Amino acid sequence: MTDIIYAAERIAQLRKEIEHHSHLYYIEAKPELSDYEFDKLLEQLMALEQQFPDLVTPDSPSQRVGGAITKEFVSVTHREPMLSLSNTYSLGEVEEFYNRVKKLLALEGVNEQSMVAELKFDGVAISLLYRNGFLVRGATRGDGIQGDDITPNIRTIPTIPLKIIDGGEIEVRGEVFMRKEDFEQLNESRPEEERFANPRNATAGSLKLQDSAEVARRRMSFVAYYLQGISEEYLPHLKRLERLEELGFFTGKQYRLCRELHDINEFIAKWSEKRWKLPYETDGVVLKLNAVTQWEKLGATAKSPRWAIAYKYPAQQAPTVLRDVIFQVGRLGTITPVAELEPVHLAGSTVSRSTLHNFDEIERLGIMIHDRVIIEKSGEVIPKVISVVLEERPSDAVPVVVPSHCPECGTPLERAESEVSYYCPNEGECPAQIRGRLLHFSSRNAMDIKSLGKALVDQLVAIKLVKDAGDLYFLQEPQLEHLERMGRKSAQNLVRALEESRTKSYERLLYALGIRHVGRATARELSRAYPSIDALIKASEEQLSTVPDIGPVVAHSICDFFAKPSAQHLLEKLRDGGVQLSASESTVQVNRNFEGMTVLFTGALERYDRQQASELVMGRGGRVVNSVSKKTSLVVAGHEPGSKLDKALKFGVRVVSESEFEEML
């Protein structure tokens, strides 16, 4: 009895301490503990709860670590439609909205039209349902009427209270987002080709993962901006935001009651630059009528409420000078030009580099070293050079010269007649290519070796402990634990991750090998046609060309890869290392609904992440592509689809919504 009393007291103390430090980190942005110290507190709590399972409660911080694997997300109907706001980039349209609301309220005999101005978080809309104080459901917006129940994933987000001091049935709505620091750490842990373009993309993809433990590791946040179900139905919006804070929700706190139009304009102007100093991305200002009792009277259009609007800040641009162009080497030896810029402050950060993609892009821009250029950053992590100020070209401007030798290993570069890029052919010894191949091999869509990050790969290659992916499976803890930033625990984690990767599918391995032109879709077709690596090696170019998704160029690339002695040595090591080199069972095709179709996804989907959606298409006989052409069969357009949608419409390609896509499945 004494033990359980002590355990109950210690558990209560740990929970209080963990919630306090979680609040300091996510709400106040004033952490007092390191991540390591925080994790130790959580480990103590979980150990005690495991020893005394009767003391576990639904609102314990231990319930946020995840672990549930969700086969599929159940569709749920929202209590009230989750409408999206009308967007505008024009202050003139903001004024029109303000005057329109004023006129509509006057018809109702209402003279008070104060607006609440809030910062617009660039995240994913979510609805939370609480019953008798406990969180019982978290759902995506979906089509506004129905969304997906993603409660296991929602419970992992620290700024979402698992319990609130309010009875009855309460609904809270808001945005799940990712703080800049957490986003940077997530991207740093991923191979370069697998990195997310911006925090919103990372958030949208993370919320639809089927492994809630992985969701927990991504450290997302939640901002609340809507409260319904309280007894005081008359309570204005400003007071509801304050009530949300009292209930333990993060609201951003940067909101203001605006009684006149000039107050709104002042708020928008104030945060145009100030927002970049915040620890999270904001892309505009949301205006809502403060009088909630008038919302229903004003009503809504088919998609948006008439009592609210979102003003979005225009893309940020800045002039700077191109100091130089350096050349990076990719895992396949591709040489990518990178602009080194005169440091310039843009969108809250100092920009000193930007990719130039390839030498065709340099020619298209007409860019020269020492040119004055315009760079742009619109919610993107990596800025881009959009134009050259030709009228200000200096007399010392010099053309960008294509390098003749690899900047990493000094090997003479080559260029195929049909391609725009230059390549380093020294794939066996070029350190940059070795590092790139290892990072690709360990990436999430390949062998998913979570503990193998860039810093560790750099070390392993530098000391020549690893020369190819096969060497990974013979690493021992003593070799690793003395490396920089490793230690015994990290060494154990890597060895464990490598052990887990041995069970990854043959299809994943084919993609992980990094064969030129062989993406995930092609790897799947190859695994179906040749269910073992031995059978695949024996296939001729002519035989490979009969496989769906494979033409003469890809077939030649596959045969060329397996003909190299380095590839044969790699496969021998992988075989000896216990990696699966054959399919354990035949891949079953669900149906043929997408037979012969090429499908492109653009924008953020609500019910699937991009990988899941692609798997659904490929499992029904279709191919997934990344660029639009006249030969594209179908474009599935999600939220904020971008330029690919415009191109699809121009080519006359069929475009469908996510709901229509689901029907086609």
Q: Name the helix (H) or strand (E) containing 139.
A: strand 134-140
List CB contacts of 413: < 8 A, sequence separation 6 or more: 335, 403, 404, 405, 406, 422, 423, 424, 425
Nearest to 302 by CA among 84, 609, 528, 545: 84
Contact between 307 and 298 (Cβ < 8 Å): yes
CB 176 within 8 A of CB 123: yes
Q: How far apart are CA 124 and CA 174, in angstroms?
A: 8
**Residue of 421, 419, 446 whose CA lies nearest to 507:** 446
Tokens 């037979």 belong to: 595
Who's near 263: CB < 8 A, 6+ residues apart?
117, 256
DSSP bridge partners of 134: 131, 163
* Distance in angstroms (rounded) separating the CA atoms of residues 376 and 390: 17
Answer whether 287's CB lies under 8 Å from 97's CB: yes
CB atoms within 10 A of CB 235: 15
SS3 334: strand
b or e along 147-164 (b: 16 or more beta carbons within 10 Å of the residue's beta carbon)?
Answer: bbbbbbbbbbbbbbbbbb
Tell me if residue 17 falls in helix, strand or coil: helix
State how far the Cα of 143 lies from the Cα of 147, in Å rounded to an integer.
Answer: 7
120 is a catalytic site residue = yes
CA dist 623 and 41 (Å) reads 47
Strand partners, 336: 328
Active-site entry in 120, 208, 312, 467:
120
Indicate if the alpha-carbon torsion angle 238, 240, 246, 252 is positive or negative.
negative
List the structure tokens of 341. 């810029």
Nearest to 475 by CA among 462, 458, 492, 489: 492
Q: How many CB atoms lie within 10 A of CB 16?
A: 11
Classify each residue of 297-321 as buried b or exposed e, where b means 16 or more C-beta atoms within 10 Å of its C-beta: ebeeeeeebbbbbbbbbeebebebb
CA distance 125 to 224: 10
Instruction: Give the other-Cβ count within 10 Å of 5's Cβ.
Output: 9
Overall size of the chain counted in residues: 665
CA distances from 294 to 344, 548, 626 (A): 46, 58, 46
Answer whether 309's CB lies under 8 Å from 378's CB.
Answer: no
Could you give the residue numbers annotated as active site?
120
